[in-house]
Structure 1
Amino acid sequence: MRFSDLVGRRVAVWGQGREGTSVTEYVRGLGVEVVVAEPDLPRGDSPGVVYGADGSTALLTADVVIKSPGVPVTHDLHRALVEAGVAITSLTDLWLSDNAHRVVAITGTKGKSTTASLLHHLLLRTGVRSSLRGNIGTSVLAESDPPAQVVVMELSSYQAQSLTRSPRIVAVTSLFPEHLTWHGSLESYYSDKLNAVAHGPETVVVPAEADEVIRRVSERLSPGTRLLLTDEDGVHVAPDGAIVWPDGPRIEAGDLPLPGRHHAHNIALALRLAGLLGPPPEALVEALSSFAPLPHRMEPVPSDDGRTWLDDSLATAPEAVVASLSSLAPQPDRCIAVIVGGEDRGLTYDVLLETVSAREDVELLLVGPTGARLAPACEASGLRARLFTSFGACVAWARARENRADIVLLSPGAPSYDEFANFEERSAAFRAAALGTDSPPAES
């Protein structure tokens, strides 16, 4: 659906958050009358917003509902709208329908922020007028002057679910269980996520070693879409972790701006995408050398206790923790204390426990409801693990002399909402502990 399709129709925006507010202003600027509804709030004082039952009525009597990405498809009212035949769209879908020709979208369970940011960096450094938008925090409506030649979009599963038009180029970084409450099931999550490749993209790029991703993407591709892999036909990850072009440059693993094979695959994806847009390999190698890693992704933070403290707080799924641990190869006489846990979404942590059981250098510091659920399994498996009553108690122990670890890694594999408002707040508590400030007494 395009913005022009809204003219002359009854339009309602579901949600007055940042995205809801911006799309309301934009659509009204096109001369379309819009009502904003907050059906889940019984009352409020924002002018022009209808609340509670009146909000539900406004949505059910609309011709088109523009849904904010935070509204889950499992919501009873969403089901009622579908059954009533009300057209449901989103800002992302409306904007993409007019701009897909200049969009490169990065989606996937993990790795999309890093890959999108890196691609944007590579394009800017090689003279391509690029804009970074989408789930990474910048509205798609935030047009640059002059307009961007390429819009690099980080695309979440929430945003992908509503699409009726795919971007020109799409990269899928990874797939594993995440956001299951919002989507309703694992299969629905995969289906919603891969909706991004199902509506006529020109090219889709996938990591060569991601067999499950390749299979699922292939099942959803539109006829005529070209599927590319980061394999020997183009830039790819060599067995030793280096980035290699066929008959071209080679970047050794130790010279990459991010450690670990999973990051090497994200880098190869970004380089493959950039190469599709024109810059030659030699220019991309030079541009890559100036890329700064994003915060909260295996980020070293200041500390004063002689240990290395790494903030990997955006690793909110067990597979992400495994990937981060893989970047820290076992070394003689080195120990890693990994803080794991938080809000419990019922995910399976077998892959993480298997990884830890195969290493002698890892001790798990368990926190929150997830940690409490993992503790018996760790004990039964003979893993080195400690359960703490709170995050504060955990990081205080991590600083204590009793902790023999050389590295303290916050890679929780779970959201932060059991104790914190968001992951930034959890990260701040971790960083404060690294410097010995605001830490409660240690207890396990």
Structure 2
Amino acid sequence: MPASSTRQASSRPSASATTTCCPPPTRRQHVRFSDLSGRRVVVWGFGREGASVTEHLRDLGVDVGVAEPDRVQGPHPDLAYGEEGRTRLLAADVVVKSPGVPVVHPLHRELVAAGTPVTSLTDLWLNDNAERVVAVTGTKGKSTTASLLHHLLAAAGLRSSLRGNIGTSVLAETDPPAEVVVMELSSYQAQSLTRSPRVVAVTSLFPEHLTWHGSLEAYFHDKLNAVAHGPEVVVVPAEAPEVVRRVRERVSPGTEVLLTDADGVHVDEAGDVVWPDGTRVAAPDLPLPGRHHAANIAVALRLAGLFDIAPTTLAAALRTFAPLPHRMEPVPSGDERRWIDDSLATAPEAVVASLASLPGERISVVVGGEDRGLDFSPLLSHLRSHPELVVLLVGPAGARISAEAPDLGAHLFDSFGEAVTWAGSAANPARVVLLSPGAPSYDEFADYTERSAAFRAAALAADGR
């Protein structure tokens, strides 16, 4: 695990320092897998994670039941549905909650008020494995940062395993066991923690998942619960001062906060990634364009540096990293335009960052989808300051943008298909077509991959006529 790092946090919070809306609750007790023997354990939810933890607990000899109180009936005869599910949960000694169950659920609040321990697979596993875990959380950038860190560690010869919200269960142990587990940690997972990973990185914070958490401040509070239970080191991008401030308010006493500044690897004014010893990767050679991606890359490199890996080794490994799909990903097209799939940019701030990564280009950007009621002000401000952008609006979110900002002169379409067909026609004066929606896809599509597939099909069909 990491050697001692070099920069101490410049300030420490008082014991009462938290976000204003969310006073700290009574400290929850740690629960380990070994604590569950002989207790009435109920798993709440039987999706992918619920099924996984249920199987694991039964393999450990734990007598575990499963409840789905929000479903009247279902296909599994041994599950308790509806009122029976509610009764089973209220009678439990320990509840293992699936990530899909929001903390604002009335039954969750009832269980917490009754003093029933409510834990999760992530928390159970971390209570036994935190010492070998580096977790990456944040509103955006966590998947890329975690994947890059795993790539860097593996390239340096460490046995690294990538798990968590990125799609692989924490229970998926390698043989031999991983020396380092790189975990992508969602806000849903972070909320439940009573033990922090040994090392945590926070990439960004802006509004997301507000319905699940209840409010913006509750979202920030739940997300930063990841750093509140004794990590040794937390890494934060120096270019995000508000994130730095909030992290320093929440970290445990004794936690070291490291920034991607001149004391370590950082992003310089030209957008290059630079180490203090002079090792450098120029901006055009980075695997993803834009300063926001460079900042995430610097976070991953700062984390990898904790393992005493030489900057030259890290720079060489960085050049071989293949970016994840749907993140500023160029896609084949039938015309002479550049088509870029940034379908996972589902927050307004992410769209601004993506647009800023393409300076000097005439861009048409497809924006919109399901409307979650987020504040589009940061995006609208950027669009107003760049009137050369060709804005294509779709879905309920696009309709709201059109109503709130008629001065943009944006094109509002009845469907996503109509928008991308127009983008590939001679009517579009732009040379770049960017899908950076700032909203989820559920208004028209099953998920973001289906929306991306529709975008790619339109790119191939485009002929500029």
Write the distance in 1 (CA, Å) between the matches of 2:452 and 2:51: 29
Write the distance in 2 (CA, Å) between the matches of 1:140 and 1:277: 22
Q: Gapped runs of 5+ residues in structure 2?
A: 1-30
Counterpart position of 2:350? 320
Matched, 1:363 2:363: no
Write the distance in 2 (CA, Å) between the matches of 1:8 and 1:219: 39
Write the distance in 1 (CA, Å) between the matches of 2:104 and 2:141: 26
Write the distance in 2 (CA, Å) between the matches of 1:344 and 1:419: 12
Match of 2:418 among 390, 393, 396: 393
Write the distance in 2 (CA, Å) between the matches of 1:378 and 1:398: 21
Q: 1:374 corresponds to which letter in structure 2?
A: I
Write the distance in 2 (CA, Å) between the matches of 1:169 and 1:45: 41
Matches within 5 A, 1:126-145: 126-145=156-175
Counterpart position of 1:344? 371
Give the CA deviation at 1:209: 1.3
The question of whether the paired residues in 1 share the 8 Å contact of 2:37 and 2:62 is answered with: yes
Write the distance in 2 (CA, Å) between the matches of 1:105 and 1:252: 27
SS of 1:435's equivalent in the other structure is helix
Write the distance in 2 (CA, Å) between the matches of 1:222 and 1:44: 43
Match of 1:372 among 386, 399, 413: 399
SS of 1:409's equivalent in the other structure is strand
Write the distance in 1 (CA, Å) between the matches of 2:113 and 2:255: 32
Give the CA deviation at 1:398: 1.0
| CA deviation vs aligned residue, 1:74-122 (integer Å, no higher than 9, x gap) | 1111111112221100000000000000000000000000000000000
Counterpart position of 1:28? 58
Q: 2:402 corresponds to which letter in structure 1?
A: A
Write the distance in 2 (CA, Å) between the matches of 1:341 and 1:360: 18
Write the distance in 2 (CA, Å) between the matches of 1:420 and 1:242: 38
Q: 2:135 corresponds to which letter in structure 1?
A: A
Counterpart position of 2:13? none
Matched, 1:231 2:258: no
Matched, 1:74 2:104: yes
| CA deviation vs aligned residue, 1:268-315 (integer Å, no higher than 9, x gap) | 000000010121111101111100111000001110021111000000
Give the CA deviation at 1:125: 0.7
Query: Which of 251-260 and 222-231 deviates more?
Result: 251-260
> What is the Cα-based RMSD across aligned positions, in Å?
1.2
Matched, 1:408 2:408: no
SS of 2:402's equivalent in the other structure is helix
Counterpart position of 2:139? 109
Give the CA deviation at 1:360: 3.5
| CA deviation vs aligned residue, 1:119-164 (integer Å, no higher than 9, x gap) | 0000111101100000000000000000000000000000000000
TM-score by length of 2: 0.92
Matches within 5 A, 1:300-311: 300-311=330-341
Write the distance in 2 (CA, Å) between the matches of 1:113 and 1:44: 33
Identify the structure with bigger relative contact order (alpha carbons < 8 Å, sequence gap 6+).
2
Q: Gapped runs of 5+ residues in structure 1?
A: none
Q: How many residues align?
A: 434
Write the distance in 1 (CA, Å) between the matches of 2:85 and 2:325: 39
Counterpart position of 2:28? none
The question of whether the paired residues in 2 share the 8 Å contact of 1:366 and 1:388 is answered with: yes
Write the distance in 2 (CA, Å) between the matches of 1:201 and 1:398: 48
Write the distance in 2 (CA, Å) between the matches of 1:304 and 1:123: 39
| CA deviation vs aligned residue, 1:155-182 (integer Å, no higher than 9, x gap) | 0000000000000000000000000000
| CA deviation vs aligned residue, 1:304-349 (integer Å, no higher than 9, x gap) | 0211110000000000000101100024xxx211000011111111
The question of whether the paired residues in 2 share the 8 Å contact of 1:339 and 1:411 is answered with: yes
Write the distance in 1 (CA, Å) between the matches of 2:75 and 2:282: 58
Give the CA deviation at 1:377: 2.8
Write the distance in 2 (CA, Å) between the matches of 1:67 and 1:73: 10
Matched, 1:263 2:293: yes
Q: 1:367 corresponds to which letter in structure 2?
A: V
Write the distance in 1 (CA, Å) between the matches of 2:178 and 2:405: 51
The question of whether the paired residues in 1 share the 8 Å contact of 2:69 and 2:83 is answered with: yes
The question of whether the paired residues in 2 share the 8 Å contact of 1:208 and 1:229 is answered with: yes
Structure 1 runs of 4+ with >6 Å offset: none
Identical amino acids, percent of aligned pairs: 71
Give the CA deviation at 1:213: 0.2
Counterpart position of 2:7? none
Write the distance in 1 (CA, Å) between the matches of 2:166 and 2:443: 24
Counterpart position of 1:6? 36
Counterpart position of 2:4? none
Give the CA deviation at 1:30: 1.2
Give the CA deviation at 1:57: 0.5
Counterpart position of 2:24? none
Give the CA deviation at 1:363: 1.4
Counterpart position of 2:409? 384
Counterpart position of 2:73? 43
Matches within 5 A, 1:177-326: 177-326=207-356
Counterpart position of 1:433? 458
Write the distance in 2 (CA, Å) between the matches of 1:329 and 1:306: 19
Write the distance in 2 (CA, Å) between the matches of 1:27 and 1:241: 48
Counterpart position of 1:161? 191
The question of whether the paired residues in 1 share the 8 Å contact of 2:43 and 2:95 is answered with: yes
Write the distance in 2 (CA, Å) between the matches of 1:176 and 1:267: 19
Write the distance in 1 (CA, Å) between the matches of 2:237 and 2:409: 34
The question of whether the paired residues in 2 share the 8 Å contact of 1:198 and 1:222 is answered with: yes
Write the distance in 2 (CA, Å) between the matches of 1:211 and 1:169: 20
Q: 1:78 corresponds to which letter in structure 2?
A: H
Give the CA deviation at 1:251: 1.2
Write the distance in 1 (CA, Å) between the matches of 2:237 and 2:181: 21
